[in-house]
């Protein structure tokens, strides 16, 4: 920012300028512009009451400075050209040449175009810190709403979660009826866990909830809290799931209070569907299968095409035939995770369909489940290959692979022990001894499937930012 001529004034102009500076610090460029212009107008009026030519000249410089700070660059330039440097106080005179260069640059017809090209180049070069710093120095290139949107995205890239939440709240204050901008809050915090940044996801989610509580931010808090619970055990896990259900209740209440046009927003419904899915599983882990099943049924009514609630209902009713039908239906979705394939693999194994079970295990593995399930699936492939009469060396290697993934996996370890201890028995005899129990607590919605859904919002948010930067 350009140097400011010194002043000892304590009049209304100084107060208005201070209010403008404070507004600018909060990112409220509309108020900042108004306050700086107010300060400039006051100083301009004061010129008429000044007696000395030097006082008039200094007031003119101060007024030009306030117009400059308020983005009124042409008015600032008009005044600056009337300033006689030789009349200014010695300590102020040296500031005028740089001020003139700065204000002439910003008053140019192509100023905004040139700055937007610079911003776009830096953004595409991933120089996010430089863009953010330049936006602070050139705060009026964009209107307040688009500026807040750009700053939110930049702060997300830099991991400044509270600042990003502040700008998100500012966006909603300028365009409260915009579906897309409201739902964009979900894309980043729901992406972070898949990048191994669960603490960061919660840090962002809690700031969003504090500064902009709405249906989407409650959905985000509920989903992220589910994943936080998944990393815990015992009493701590149960407490987190209770918090998750509390956030879900608020999210569902807020969603139903939205206008129909918002409720029909496709991406809003995707996030709500994911929230339903996580809440059903949270209730299941809390031991409330009846309520979990009721919620899963409600989720299916909410979005019959969503695969997640079908898988959840299947988990709650397996091994009933309806559960198998639910898993088969869910497995047809291109965004579904490993859960239906995992259960269908178990169903095939239990019915002696070992080749089909292997194929389903491989489909589940392609969807990258967590470590316990990945090891278990490799272990299931080992027992299926053994049941098909494969060479013992091959089966041994398959077990070793499973144990490399999760050395403490009790099921894999038990089945490997059975395999090693029954060298003289036929595979058909061993088949009845295998431990193929499903541990529901190890099963959680696949982050990859949710990411595939919500990257739509992420990509559109980035595309929207790039368009704003260059337009």
* Cα Rg of the chain, angstroms: 31
Does residue 437 surpass a pLDDT of 90? no
pLDDT at 466: 60
pLDDT at 333: 83
> pLDDT over 90 for what percent of the chain?
57
pLDDT for 24-58, tens place per residue?
888 889 999 999 999 999 999 998 888 899 989 99
Section 186-190 average pLDDT = 84
pLDDT at 450: 52
pLDDT for 137-186, tens place per residue?
999 999 888 888 889 989 999 999 999 999 999 888 876 555 577 777 77
Q: Residue 376 is inside which H or E element, if any?
A: helix 371-387
pLDDT for 208-223, tens place per residue?
999 999 999 999 999 9
pLDDT for 323-372, tens place per residue?
999 999 999 987 778 999 999 999 999 999 999 999 999 999 998 888 88
pLDDT at 448: 43
CATH class of 340-444: mainly alpha
pLDDT at 160: 96
Q: Report residue 425's pLDDT band, with 50, 70 and 90 as the boundaries.
A: low
Q: Report residue 452's pLDDT band, with 50, 70 and 90 as the boundaries.
A: very low
Section 412-425 average pLDDT = 85
Does residue 391 surpass a pLDDT of 50? yes
Does residue 307 surpass a pLDDT of 70? yes
pLDDT for 70-119, tens place per residue?
999 999 999 999 998 898 888 888 899 999 999 999 999 999 999 999 99
- Is the pLDDT higher at 5 or at 282? 282
- Is the pLDDT higher at 322 or at 471? 322
**What is the C-alpha end-to-end distance of the chain, expressed in Å?**
24
Does residue 451 surpass a pLDDT of 50? no
Q: Report residue 10's pLDDT band, with 50, 70 and 90 as the boundaries.
A: very low
SS3 188: helix
Q: Tokens in use for 105?
A: 């640059």
Section 212-240 average pLDDT = 92
Distance CA 192, CA 203 (A): 11
Do 390 and 425 meet the contact criterion of CB atoms below 8 Å apart?
A: no
Do 202 and 236 meet the contact criterion of CB atoms below 8 Å apart?
A: no
- Of the candidates 118, 106, 38, the one whose C-alpha atom is nearest the C-alpha of residue 73 is 106
Sequence ranges of the domains in the chain: 12-108, 182-320+450-463, 340-444
Quick one: fold of 12-108?
1.25.40
Burial code (b: 16+ CB inside 10 Å, e: under 16) for 15-43 equals: ebbebbeebbeebbbebbbbbbbbbbbbb
- Is the pLDDT higher at 432 or at 48? 48
- With tokens 């688009």, the residue in question is 146
- Kindly report the average pLDDT of the chain as a whole number: 87
Q: Tokens in use for 453?
A: 């859904």
* Domains 12-108 and 340-444 in one fold: yes
pLDDT at 468: 59
Q: Report residue 190's pLDDT band, with 50, 70 and 90 as the boundaries.
A: confident
- Of the candidates 433, 383, 386, 436, the one whose C-alpha atom is nearest the C-alpha of residue 411 is 436
Count H helices and E strands in the chain, helices first: 26, 0
Section 7-28 average pLDDT = 83
Q: Could you tell me which CATH number the domain at 182-320+450-463 has?
A: 1.25.40.10
């Amino acid at each position: 920012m350009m140097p400011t001529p010194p002043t000892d004034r304590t009049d209304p102009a100084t107060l208005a300028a201070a209010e403008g500076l404070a507004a600018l610090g909060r990112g409220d460029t509309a108020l900042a512009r108004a306050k700086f212009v107010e300060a400039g107008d006051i100083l301009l009026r004061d010129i008429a009451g000044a007696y000395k030519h030097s006082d008039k000249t200094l007031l003119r410089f101060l007024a030009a400075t306030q117009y400059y700070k308020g983005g009124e660059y042409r008015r600032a330039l008009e005044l600056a050209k009337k300033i006689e440097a030789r009349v200014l106080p010695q300590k102020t005179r040296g500031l005028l040449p740089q001020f003139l260069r700065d204000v002439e640059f910003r008053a140019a017809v192509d100023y905004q175009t040139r700055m937007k090209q610079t911003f776009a180049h830096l953004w595409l070069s991933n120089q996010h810190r430089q863009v953010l710093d330049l936006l602070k120095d050139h705060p009026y290139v964009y209107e307040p709403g688009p500026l807040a949107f750009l700053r939110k995205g930049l702060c997300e890239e830099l991991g400044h979660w509270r600042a990003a939440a502040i700008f998100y709240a500012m966006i909603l204050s300028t365009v409260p009826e915009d579906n897309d901008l409201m739902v964009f809050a979900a894309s980043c915090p729901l992406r972070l866990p898949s990048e191994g940044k669960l603490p960061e996801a919660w840090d962002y989610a809690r700031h969003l909830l504090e500064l902009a509580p709405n249906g989407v931010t409650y959905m985000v808090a509920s989903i992220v809290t589910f994943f936080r619970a998944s990393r815990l055990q015992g009493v701590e896990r149960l407490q987190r799931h209770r918090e998750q259900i509390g956030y879900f209740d608020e999210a569902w209440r807020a969603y139903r209070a939205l206008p129909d046009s918002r409720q029909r927003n496709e991406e809003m419904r995707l996030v709500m569907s994911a929230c339903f899915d996580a809440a059903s599983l949270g209730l299941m882990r809390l031991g409330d299968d009846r309520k979990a099943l009721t919620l899963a049924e409600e989720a299916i009514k909410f979005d019959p095409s969503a695969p997640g609630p079908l898988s959840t209902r299947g988990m709650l009713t397996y091994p009933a035939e309806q559960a198998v039908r639910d898993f088969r239906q869910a497995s047809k979705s291109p965004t579904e995770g490993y859960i239906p394939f995992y259960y269908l693999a178990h169903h095939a194994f239990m019915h002696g369909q070992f080749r089909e079970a292997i194929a389903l295990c491989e489909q589940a593995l392609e969807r990258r489940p967590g470590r316990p399930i990945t090891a278990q699936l490799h272990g299931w492939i080992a027992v299926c290959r053994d049941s098909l009469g494969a060479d013992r060396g091959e089966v041994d290697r398959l077990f070793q692979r499973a144990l490399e993934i999760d050395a403490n996996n009790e099921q894999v370890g038990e089945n490997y022990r059975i395999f090693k201890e029954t060298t003289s028995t036929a595979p058909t005899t061993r088949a009845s001894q295998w431990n193929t129990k499903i541990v529901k607590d190890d099963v959680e919605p696949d982050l990859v499937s949710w990411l595939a859904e919500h990257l739509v919002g992420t990509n559109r948010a980035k595309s929207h930012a790039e368009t704003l930067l260059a337009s």
